[in-house]
Structure 1
Amino acid sequence: MRLRGVRGSRNVEDRRGRRGKAGAGIGGIGLLVVLAVGYFAGIDVTPFLQGQGPSIETQAGSPRELSAEEKQAGEFSVRVLATTEAVWSGIFAQHIGRDYRPPVMVLYSGVTSSPCGNASGATGPFYCPADRKAYLDTEFFSTLSRQMGAKGDFAAAYVIAHEVAHHVQNELGILPEVNQRRQAVSETQANALTVRLELQADCLSGVWARSVDGMLEPGDLEEALNAARKIGDDYLQKRAGRVPQPHTFTHGTSEQRSRWFATGYQTGDPGQCDTFGVDQL
């Protein structure tokens, strides 16, 4: 992805570079293990993000120097975030008739806290509607590439665009409505609603990708589609040695995720991302 000349977003809270101490946290290899369990076993981490999971206490300590890889990942992230701000500001103005209020991106390393619960590398990137912030441990990019086989800078950009898409859903009132509906139905029905929410975010990510098409390099689109396939529930459950169980899916199949992203990219129209208005996903 060509980001030279793109000025980084100012809507960033960088918590990296702080030495922390985790009280009940998991570190190192343990983070990757728990992350793998969440993704590969198809476990919905929503309860954890809502503060129902294990407590993690962090304590700020002496600052540390960021590695060259961390600095590069941070610079990349804030530039990608800036492109989402430009894209959604334009779409909101043109199609919705109001200003777009962008989210803040929190960059952290290891563990951090949020109003939606404590966060660690085990949760992966997530969006917290309570404070309108997207949380990202930039080490996830390495996990995405090395552990999950989703390589390339545009795969990482897709991850950021997906979390911003959840903010777009929040701005449009979709996210709170779905969260309310999920609380009133069975676990299987709640999972089905979550799948539609996630697939819509994939589609909105595709809309963003279409809008920054001039920045794409050869192979970028396939990187994003590959990332979508690599984090499909069926693929991850098979990789974990399990028979896919659709009633446990919370993000959609590999085919669904890549297809809805492609729909957004091909049409460039947020109106085509109504995953709640179709019978067949």
Structure 2
Amino acid sequence: MQWRGRRQSGNIEDRRGGGGGFSRGGGGMRIPLRAGGGGIGLVILLLIGWLVFGINPLAMLGAVDDGGGRTAQTTQGSGGVNSTPGETDDFVATVLADTEDVWSRRFQEAGETYRDPSLVLFDNRVDSACGMAGSATGPFYCPVDDKLYLDLSFFDQLQRQLNAPGDFAQAYVIAHEVGHHVQNLQGILPRLAEARENLRQAEANALSVRVELQADCYAGLWAHDAREAGYLDPGDIDEALNAAFQIGDDRLQSRNQGTVMPDTFTHGTSEERQRWFSRGYETGDMAACDTLEGRLGG
């Protein structure tokens, strides 16, 4: 991805090292799943009246804990952004800026106003408006405070444990979480939280899958516009599609449990995640990302 030397977002909040300040000025979607007890155990995080959902690939893969409650970091290899001081920070800020440009333009064309989210960088653990989360939670979006939360050690896990290297795989992760912010602005996430209260777990999971697949499609829309702007390198889309494949529910469950339990899926299969990302990327049409088909009303 051609990201160096371009505009960087100011909506980055740096809370690493126990700090809570802003690194540049400026300014979830998750129910972690873990293997155990012969099946998938649900760990439900109550988010001030919200249900935040998603697979926790780090927990499922048994991410290493360094004894202090944080996921151990190792030096990132050549498959992604290098770990030289500030480089990954600059990369994240550039990708976030790109999402701001893409969604601001798309909302404006629809006669609406896009409100930029903030992205919080943290290590160890973080206190969000959606509750306390640790590094092993992975990236998440909190609809209560309109913030994305990211421990950069996840990028190393993405490459080394999930076999999804490349800077565009990392960009896909950010664009997917921004997709949840877009859904929040559209009113989809509030309607989802309300709908889940009256559904059986399997039905709620199926609805969650549709919301996650839409976020994948929205990430594809961002990739489409990045291509139109001339920012993509050869192989970038392959990196994103590989990441989508590696974090499919069926792929993760088969790899870590040896069995696949469709009723517990919350993000979609590898094929579904790739297909919906591709639909957004190939069409560039927001209407093509209607995974919900009226199921949430509104």
SS at match of 2:165: coil
> Which residue of structure 2 aligns with residue 14 of structure 1?
14
Checking the alignment, whether the CA contact within 8 Å between 2:4 and 2:91 is kept in structure 1 is no
Question: How far does residue 120 in structure 1 lie from its aligned partner after superposition?
Answer: 1.1
> Which residue of structure 1 aligns with residue 87 of structure 2?
72
Given the alignment, which residue of 87, 91, 101 partners 2:102? Answer: 87
Determine the C-alpha separation between the residues in 1 that align with 2:204 and 2:153.
Answer: 30
Question: How far does residue 4 in structure 1 lie from its aligned partner after superposition?
Answer: 2.2
The one-letter amino acid of 1:87's match is V
- Deviation digits for residues 54-109 of structure 1, max 9, x if unmatched? xxxx9xxxxxxxx9546222111111000000000000011x20211010000101
The one-letter amino acid of 1:270's match is M
Q: CA RMSD in A?
A: 2.4
The one-letter amino acid of 2:138's match is G
Question: How far does residue 254 in structure 1 lie from its aligned partner after superposition?
Answer: 0.1
Question: 5+ unaligned residues in a row in structure 1: which ranges?
Answer: 21-34, 59-66
Checking the alignment, whether the CA contact within 8 Å between 1:42 and 1:236 is kept in structure 2 is no
Determine the C-alpha separation between the residues in 2 that align with 1:190 and 1:270.
Answer: 24
- Deviation digits for residues 35-56 of structure 1, max 9, x if unmatched? 8937xx76555x2263799xxx
SS at match of 1:215: coil
* 2:218 corresponds to 1:204: yes
Distance 1:50 1:37, change over 3 A: same
Q: Provide the TM-score with structure 1 as the length reference.
A: 0.83
Checking the alignment, whether the CA contact within 8 Å between 1:126 and 1:134 is kept in structure 2 is yes
Checking the alignment, whether the CA contact within 8 Å between 2:218 and 2:286 is kept in structure 1 is yes
Determine the C-alpha separation between the residues in 2 that align with 1:156 and 1:242.
Answer: 27
> Which residue of structure 1 aligns with residue 165 of structure 2?
151
Which residues of 2 match residues 174-189 of structure 1 at below 5 A?
174-189=188-203
More helix by share: 1
SS at match of 1:185: coil
Percent sequence identity over aligned pairs: 52
Determine the C-alpha separation between the residues in 2 that align with 1:257 and 1:106.
Answer: 25
Question: How far does residue 243 in structure 1 lie from its aligned partner after superposition?
Answer: 1.3
Distance 1:161 1:277, change over 3 A: same
> Which residue of structure 2 aligns with residue 26 of structure 1?
none
Determine the C-alpha separation between the residues in 2 that align with 1:70 and 1:147.
Answer: 23
- Deviation digits for residues 167-193 of structure 1, max 9, x if unmatched? 000001111111110111111111011
> Which residue of structure 2 aligns with residue 239 of structure 1?
255
The one-letter amino acid of 1:190's match is A
Determine the C-alpha separation between the residues in 1 that align with 2:46 and 2:151.
Answer: 15
Question: 5+ unaligned residues in a row in structure 2: which ranges?
Answer: 21-31, 53-67, 69-81
User: Greater CA deviation, 9-18 or 157-166?
Assistant: 9-18
Determine the C-alpha separation between the residues in 2 that align with 1:146 and 1:200.
Answer: 27
Q: Provide the TM-score with structure 2 as the length reference.
A: 0.78
> Which residue of structure 1 aligns with residue 72 of structure 2?
none
Checking the alignment, whether the CA contact within 8 Å between 2:245 and 2:251 is kept in structure 1 is yes
Aligned residues: 249
Distance 1:70 1:275, change over 3 A: farther
Question: How far does residue 260 in structure 1 lie from its aligned partner after superposition?
Answer: 0.3
